[in-house]
A and B are shown apart, each in its own frame.
Chain A
Amino acid sequence: MSEKEVKNLEAIFEARIARDEKIEPKDWMPEKYRKTHIRQISQHAHSEIVGMLPEGNWISRAPSLRRKAALLAKVQDEAGHGLYLYSACETLGVSRDELYDQLHSGKAKYSSIFNYPTVTWADIGAIGWLVDGAAIINQVPLCNTSFGPYARAMVRVCKEESFHQRQGYEIMLTLCNGTEEQKAMAQDALNRWWWPSLMMLGPTDAESIHTEQSMKWKLKRKTNDELRQQFIDQTVPQADILGLTVPDPDLKWNEERGSYDFGEIDWDEFWQVVKGHGPCNKERMNARVGAWERGTWVRDAAMAYAEKQEEKKVSKAS
């Protein structure tokens, strides 16, 4: 294909996106579009799978049968999200095994928030309320993103995430209506999860390298800083209802802006965790790689069995 022809295809492609048409896997797409989508969707899938670990940590110790069942269901939902995000990614011509390799080798990233430990039951509430809350803000715009399989997967993901968020908030509410010990547990969880949750919305716009192109492809509709502000404005009143204090002495309502002003985020901490030196980066990777390696004989057996069954069918037929 000549350079001119490619340019022409690109122009048609960009025009389709501008008209809000969906791009489907078999459609022509620029290589950069394919790569960017593989990166983002797989990163999202990995986050779901790694995200199962900090919450899974509390399944065996959930404080009531109702909470145990709800947590099992939630973590199972996350596995489901991983599954259809990996499937969406596979439509772009990459296999799930390749994507796992990228995760296990450290080449692919996942959301840094899951590198923080869940040390009390209240952390399960805080994750639902704050982490899923921030995730929804990131993800709702993706229901209208240009790549069809991703947009459709996100519709379902967002519905379930919003249920998880309410569930998390309800855990917090129960704790805050409980004993002094329970309320202290809730406050402690908010103290530890607040700042990492703000960091979840990504580096400041000045530092964000992908924003411009992603906006054009509707992988992004608002900048990181706008999303962060939206999250804070939405979450602070919820903390007030709980009677908890947001751990930011600079947090203040700004009448003029109609928004909260907030303190400086510790970006050194953000980069430290992104670069692999957070409290649980190593533990999370060990858990993922360990499960994968321990499961090799099981997956090999399933393949061998399927082949044997196939052979039997063929020999019966002949």
Chain B
Amino acid sequence: MANQNLYNYILGIADNSLVLGQRLGELCGHGPSLETDIAGTNISLDLIGQTRSYFQYAAKVSGKELTEDDIAFLRLERDYRNVLLVEQPNTHFGYVIARQYLFDVFHLLFLNELQYSKDETLSAIAKKGIKEVSYHKRFSGDWIKRLGDGTEESHEKMQEAVDDLWRYTDELFEMSEDDQQMVSEGIGVDLPKLKESYYDEVSELLSEATLEIPERKYFSYGGKNGVHTEHMGYLLADLQYMQRTYPNMQW
């Protein structure tokens, strides 16, 4: 392959969008209100759109005859590089919102850096994504506040979701070998540099939402190396169903 590091790097970014888009798509038609249904579907649509841009670029970088769909649907679980956070299930609406917000804050910080990448395609995708993800963050942040500072029940549920998902936040800043290589070439984003801003911003919003900031020393990692939670296999079974059942067809 012409540039294996770059290829892996693109997949690492895109898999987050793909998997989170997939999770949100599962909810379509089942949300707590028509407005939240529309917003959730809209975010899913943005994320799948971003995924397509990344994978189309990755297919080009690969130098092989790959399509965006080959990359999206025909890998083994161990070869998906998304962080564990985005694959967590839609346990209840509090989890959906917490997962979304904890990712959106990272995602926006990340794209804000990626837009200065030396790689022009990645920079262009990032610039387009910034507009979309700013909206995602506003949506999820507003709901954290509503649920955190709403009723007693919603406060408890929101806190439960934040507490449970918090352990997946540190992985967002973990550097893989590909990440390091891409940073050294001026293409990738230096993730640990985003960490302080991330926790500051998240903590401020959680406090505003009257929620406790979880105090946790231990975090979960693995997604970036392809070792996922048990939820991932089922997500992929759905995602890959058609391509695996009917191989080599046009849809």
Contacts and interface: CB of A to CB of B under 8 A. Distances in A.
Interface of A: 49, 52-53, 56, 59-69, 72-73, 75-76, 79-80, 82-83, 86, 121, 171, 174, 177-179, 181-182, 287, 290-292, 294-305, 308
Contact of B246 (A60, A181, A290, A291): A181
B30 A299 contact: no
Contact of A297 (B22, B52, B153): B153
Contact of A79 (B37, B51, B243): B37
Contact of A302 (B34, B150, B239): B150
Given A72-B44, A182-B249, A60 B25 contact: yes
Contacts of A65: 48, 51-52, 55, 68-69, 72
Nearest to B56: A65
Contacts of A64: 69, 73, 243, 251
14 contacts: A49-B29, A56-B30, A63-B251, A65-B72, A76-B28, A76-B45, A177-B250, A179-B249, A290-B30, A295-B36, A297-B154, A298-B147, A304-B151, A308-B149
B25 A300 contact: no
Contacts of A82: 34
B25 A76 contact: no
Nearest to A308: B149
A312 to B, nearest CB: 11
Interface of B is mostly: helix
A69 B45 contact: yes
Contact of B238 (A61, A181, A290, A308): A61
A299 B32 contact: yes
Which residue among A63, A121, A299 has the maximum number of chain B CB atoms within 10 Å of its CB?
A63
Contacts of B55: 65
B234 to A, nearest CB: 10
Question: Chain B CB within 10 Å — which of A83, A181, A297, A304 has the most?
Answer: A297
Given A60-B22, A305-B147, A305-B150, 7 more contacts: A59-B25, A59-B26, A63-B246, A63-B251, A67-B251, A76-B38, A174-B250
B32 A298 contact: yes
A56 B249 CA distance: 23
A60 B41 CA distance: 12
Interface in B20-64: 22, 25-26, 28-38, 41-42, 44-45, 48-49, 51-52, 55
Interface in B62-98: 68-69, 72-73, 92-93
Contact of A299 (B33, B37, B241, B251): B33
Contacts of A121: 242, 251
Nearest to B92: A294
A301 B146 contact: yes
B145 interface: yes
A178 B29 contact: no
Nearest to A45: B34
A79 B154 contact: no
Given A63-B243, A69-B48, A79-B34, A52 B28 contact: yes
